[in-house]
Chain A
């Protein structure tokens, strides 16, 4: 682990962290502040059942748990995952595109140390976003009657978005390490994030494809039921396992990655493994 690389990574991500964090925090605050008005309005009205199902919710939006699930938790993990994709692909492929990775890799420091330092920077950024997000809850929730939803519940459900974010971030780094350019990697992983979201949502609406929800990592984050059903630990555990797998593969691929090859490098994984076992 290299402190200067860690700090420089964090410095490079600072505006991403600021804007994603402030955006999510402001959105969280707005949802809380809107609830009293929505509560009154929704006492006599309701979204169609299919719409609620699409967001994985059931019940009345005048219930603060359902309201927050539909209006906030359906979107927030998606936004966090976009940070993961942007930052993850930028860490390696972005720097390579700017040609700043080669002088770094030419220094007497191992690729594993570069990887660990950069990943630490990325996660420190994610923690920063989380804290700014929490600030949105903490500055508003104590002053609004959210009934059974306590401030701690809000902190916990926000944290529950982190494993799925980590899994897609690891995937973004992995794809960036084997793809010819950052744009390609970003496009592929963003597409997978959106597909995962849509599968998780439609599978809850259309009975015929209900089985497909199990294929979507997004579904396992259980964002639609965190406040009503609580955290499903085995699903979160599965996502943590998926994150560890993607980061492990990304680490191998980075060890075997070749600078500016301009082509797909699936063999980077093999080279990384060879590197690990033979060097």
Chain B
């Protein structure tokens, strides 16, 4: 059974189609990244899963429970952090935790709750209305995590947090997954997704353009070969490259190629000229991602 299953999800706001048929399956125990730029439809899809907005068409299940028809039951299985969260300003963070626990009728494990508060360095005695954006984010994170729900849904979880706390959040998410619970989080920070997630999807213009396994992606990703020659190669050089090799940049003595399985042919082609420097690397997720957003096909 999937932790989260989204099928043919469509959302219209009047004449504007915000989601254009999203399909997604998130397996139990994985950390799944939901990548996309602002306005791509990430928060809209998440809000439909949480049932604070309603789908125009499509179906959402959380651990087999219909998240629209049996939304209370589905939400019982979720911990949720909204994008830019806010809480009753007159309450302290401590009171916020008590308030939402009372609404859920669930008492969090005091040791676990205390641990989260300590690790995120949150002062729970201050009124929420006086907290900075980052500290409100911490309150939201604790709230999403403290009941140890089987599915944790986080909309841009590290926004406003300093780098040390961001690292701590990543560590906490790994621990959540190690306990067999599932994390589904949206982000536009690619490095974050790359370092934490086991799988990720890319959403653009209300559609999923790819779902990929990050380890597999790294294995299959093309190599980027960057060469610096001692003198600019002649204009006709590299006009015909071996199969599977693509010239991506040419700037005087510097030339860059992208190759999947044509590395041997490329090395021989490069060796026709005197080489000053050469590097071979895999593209970062950011480079792959930017290609998607430029509307190019994944190589």
Residues of A within 8 A of B (CB): 2-5, 8, 11-12, 98-100, 102-110, 256, 258-259, 261, 263, 271, 278-279
Contact B53 A258 (CB under 8 A): yes
Report the separation of the CA atoms of residues A64 and B53 in the bound assembly, to the nearest whole angstrom.
55
Contact A103 B82 (CB under 8 A): yes
Interface centre among A99, A110, A256 (most CB of B within 10 A): A99
Residues of A within 8 A of B82 (CB): 99, 102-103, 106
Residues of A within 8 A of B73 (CB): 108
Q: List the 5 closest A-B pairs by CB distance, nearest first.
A: A99-B86, A108-B76, A4-B102, A108-B75, A258-B53
Residues of A within 8 A of B103 (CB): 2, 4-5, 104, 107, 109
Contact A4 B99 (CB under 8 A): yes
Instruction: Give the nearest-CB partner of B106 in chain A.
Output: A108
- A8 touching B54 in the complex, CB below 8 Å, given contacts A106-B78, A107-B104, A263-B13: no
Contact B100 A11 (CB under 8 A): no
Report the separation of the CA atoms of residues A9 and B86 in the bound assembly, to the nearest whole angstrom.
16
Shortest CB distance B91–A (Å): 8
B69 adjacent to chain A (CB < 8 Å): yes
Contact B72 A279 (CB under 8 A): no
Shortest CB distance B153–A (Å): 9
Considering only residues 1-54 of chain B, those with a C-beta below 8 Å from chain A are 13-14, 47, 50-54
Instruction: Give the nearest-CB partner of A5 in chain B.
Output: B103
Interface centre among B51, B54, B102 (most CB of A within 10 A): B54
Task: List 12 other contacts, CB 8 Å, given A2-B103, A99-B85, A103-B86.
Answer: A4-B102, A100-B86, A102-B85, A103-B100, A105-B51, A106-B75, A106-B80, A109-B104, A259-B47, A261-B13, A261-B53, A271-B54
Report the separation of the CA atoms of residues A21 and B116 in the bound assembly, to the nearest whole angstrom.
43
Residues of B within 8 A of A2 (CB): 102-103
Shortest CB distance B69–A (Å): 5
Report the separation of the CA atoms of residues A104 and B87 in the bound assembly, to the nearest whole angstrom.
9
